[in-house]
Chains A and B, each alone.
Chain A
Amino acid sequence: MSEPYKHQGVGQKIQKQLLGDWYQRLEEAPARGEKVAYLFISGNLGELLENFGFHLVYPEVNALQCGVKKVAGQNILAAEDLGYSGDVCGYVKNDIGLLSGGNKMPQGTTLPPPDLLVCNYAGCATYLRWFEALAEFYGAEMVVLDVPYLRGTQGPSPEEVRYVVRQLEELAETCTRITGKTLDRDKFRQALEFTQESEELWSQVLHSARRRPAPIDAYFEAVFFMAPIYTMRGTKGCLDYYRALALEVQERVDRGIGPVPEEKVRIVMEGPPAWPHFRKFWEMFKKWGVVSVASTYSKVGGIFDQGFRHDPDRPMESMAEYMLGCYTNRNWGMRSELIKEYMEDYRADALVIHSVKSCRSFSVGQADLREQFIRDFEIPTLFIESDLADPRYFAEAQMKNRIDAFFEALHHRKVTARV
């Protein structure tokens, strides 16, 4: 990657700019008398809320930013001072700590208070309690959507879709009551057209990792590349971002460039990253020439690479299907199927599971997943643990030892297999 190229770093740069502008607009919203809605990433309904003029706050994204900027630790301690237990999710405690300190984000802007809290995914009980705490603190209205967990082997049933659509219609009525606006169907259609095209481009970016060498790291890079599609979907800015990113990726393909100088091992990653130690965590893999060719966390806001698209002709229905199909709403059989498909489709050598203490929606079942992949599928699988927000759970020496031992063993076995 030594020689600079035309679109180098475009994906990172524009993403940073978009997020910066977004936080700036959030800060200015109350002064402009504009409404603010808080919601969660998984199966979010950004296009619908934005239609009513809401600015969107994603507390998970704030926690992630605080993690990367290394202030999550102090926020978490502040929440523990208020009585939150050591076992409570680090994202929640980061948010509470941030709130107790005046909602000042590490890059300098202040987060606005909510006019509406939308718990769009209640599959995680913690989400529900989190927004209940915020609703009580701010005295804001809270809407909880009940999204049925997918228990079978297929996607959602027509009844389940109708059930969620009905709730979306009720939510639209609530939005009208709060903002005095009605749903603008043309604007909604336009937003979903932007969404659909962005999803197509994002899928192409993710699929590019099927190549050898993979032009992108579908975990360590993709977790940044995914930000616009999960936070500002349905906007022209989001679509332009993926057009620019697609050019960067294409240029990497043309030049045979990848995220590491020499791709030696291809892995599928399951689980969120260790945000407070992101660089260090990535370096532990890079050292072995490891490239993530697919990951589940980069799909946490939508599994578009498997073909799902929002449909401007069926706006509410497709939005409901999207919410029902999100990764953590799928049962373990479906999740394991998806990972296995990634292993084959992307010709990966191994599976790495990063289990995080904070997020039970992700972590429960991962020990069984490890056993299934090793015993039933005979796929080398590494299980490591830390956290996505709390820096105290990252034991560097132990983490490094496990990663080194795993790739060392993989290397030894590859060498002897060749002899």
Chain B
Amino acid sequence: MHVAGIDVGSTQTKCVILDENGAVAGRGIRMTGADVLKAADQVVAQACVQAGIEPHEVAYTIGTGYGRYRVATGDDQVTEISCHAKGAVHLFPGTRTILDIGGQDTKGIRTNARGEVVDFCMNDKCAAGTGRFLAAAAEVMGLEVEEIGALSLEATESIKITNVCTVFVESEILNQLSRGRKRQDILAGVHRSIAGRSASLLRRVTVESELTFTGGVARNPGMVKAVEERLQVKVNAGEDSQYMGALGAALFALERELAGARRQEAAQ
């Protein structure tokens, strides 16, 4: 028996397929783009290939992320806030606080040992401090977003970035470049700036160890370091970070599928 979690994010769509023991059997990822349904179908297909099953063999699917209500194949929807908490506590059981930085929003989530959300805070009406902020910085420097984290770690000093606006930060970076500042140093400042915003968001929900960093931006080593320095705590992060929402959704799907099976058995 297999279940799936599909996370339709503002930037990327992710899928995780679990077997009946809760082990990851397959994963899929692609840019969300304009066609949410197509993106969802494709990531499921990718994950099914890895899992060695056909899409119709998936017993239960839960959609999450902003596009969750558009996932036609889904049996139910759960918000990504609950899913990130669920996924993070599953992978790092000591997790009590979660920082999720996605393409367009940043969330601070406090959870209990069961992976249930106790409190959360999100950025409002503004993309400052989100993945989009980093993407804008990368773009203006002619870099790929994947390379800026490592580059920021080569900095010899950190240039203070005062702008919090994702649009205006571009002109601030151009200004620093024109003054001959090194890209590495500017990038260190950009990462610090986001870490500062994330820290104040997290403090609103209380930072309790362990802190798990999720979302696409958690793969950026410069960001992980900046957050650790800012909050003075060890941060759990890894390659799986961007699948955390989909993993949580798949775990909810597994719980519901097993509960349904138990109910059926009891009825018989």
Contact = CB atoms under 8 A, between A and B. Distances in A.
Nearest to A397: B66
Nearest to A395: B125
Contacts of A406: 120
Given A371-B204, A408-B79, A412-B82, A401 B114 contact: no
Interface string A303-340: 00000000000000000000000000000000000000
A409 B82 contact: yes
Contact of B116 (A371, A374, A398, A416): A416
Given A397-B66, A405-B82, A416 B114 contact: yes
A416 B125 CA distance: 34
Interface in B179-219: 204, 206
Interface residues of B, number: 19
B161 interface: no
Contact of A409 (B80, B81, B125): B81
B117 A412 contact: yes
Interface in B95-133: 105, 114, 116-122, 124-125
Given A371-B204, A385-B124, A395-B125, A401 B116 contact: no
Nearest to A378: B118
A409 B109 CA distance: 11
B66 A409 contact: no
A402 interface: yes
Contact of A375 (B82, B122, B206): B206
Interface in B67-81: 78-81
Nearest to A367: B204
Interface in B52-101: 66, 78-82
B78 A408 contact: yes
A141 interface: no
A402 B109 CA distance: 12
A409 B116 contact: yes
A381 B120 CA distance: 10
A412 to B, nearest CB: 5
A391 to B, nearest CB: 14
A401 B65 CA distance: 9
A404 B81 CA distance: 9
Contacts of B78: 408
Contacts of A380: 119
Interface residues of A, number: 22
Contacts of A383: 121
A371 B122 CA distance: 14
A383 B201 CA distance: 13
A418 interface: no
Interface in A377-419: 380-381, 383, 385, 393, 395, 397-398, 401-402, 404-406, 408-409, 412-413, 416
A51 B79 CA distance: 56
Interface string A247-276: 000000000000000000000000000000
Given A374-B119, A416-B114, A416-B116, A405 B81 contact: yes
B48 to A, nearest CB: 27
Nearest to B110: A374
Contacts of A404: 79
A367 B105 CA distance: 19
A412 B122 CA distance: 20
B208 to A, nearest CB: 12
B102 to A, nearest CB: 12
A385 B78 CA distance: 22
Contacts of B125: 385, 393, 395, 398
Closest 3 CB pairs of A and B: A409-B117, A405-B81, A405-B79
18 contacts: A367-B204, A375-B206, A393-B125, A398-B122, A398-B124, A398-B125, A401-B80, A402-B122, A405-B79, A405-B80, A405-B81, A405-B120, A408-B79, A408-B81, A408-B82, A409-B82, A409-B117, A412-B82
